Amino acid sequence: MRYSVLGGGKRVRPLLVYASGELTGVAEETLDPVAAAVELIHAYSLVHDDLPAMDDDDLRRGRPTTHRQFDEATAILAGDALQALAFEVLAADPKLAARPQAQVRMLAWLARAAGPAGMVGGQALDMAAEGRQIDERGLERIHRGKTGALIRASIMMPSELGLLSGDERANLDVFARDIGLVFQIRDDLLAVDQDTATLGKNAGSDSGNEKSTYPSTLGVEGARRRAAETQRHAVDALRTFGGRSDALLWLSEFILNRSS
CB of 44 to ligand GRG, least distance (A): 7
| Residue ranges in 29-48 that form contacts with ligand GRG under rule CB under 6 A | 42, 45-46, 48
Contact 173, 156 (CB under 8 A): yes
CB of 101 to ligand GRG, least distance (A): 28
- Of 84-92, 118-126, 204-212, 215-223, the window that binds ligand GRG (rule: CB under 6 A) is 118-126
> What is the spatial distance between Cα 154 and Cα 29, in angstroms, rounded to a whole number?
15
Residue from 187, 196, 224, 247 binding ligand GRG (CB under 6 A)? 187
Does 61 bind ligand GRG (CB under 6 A)? Our answer is yes
> What is the spatial distance between Cα 170 and Cα 7, in angstroms, rounded to a whole number?
35
Contact 249, 238 (CB under 8 A): yes
Does 121 bind ligand GRG (CB under 6 A)? Our answer is no
Burial of 135: CB neighbours in 10 Å, binned 0-12, 13-18, 19+: exposed
CB of 46 to ligand GRG, least distance (A): 5
Contact 86, 37 (CB under 8 A): yes
Q: Which is nearer to ligand GRG, 89 or 199 (CB)?
A: 199
Element (H, E) at 63: strand 63-64
User: How many other C-beta atoms are found inside a 10 Å radius of the C-beta of residue 70?
Assistant: 15
Does 12 bind ligand GRG (CB under 6 A)? Our answer is yes
Interface residues with ligand GRG (CB under 6 A) are 9-10, 12, 42, 45-46, 48-49, 54, 61, 119-120, 123, 146-147, 187
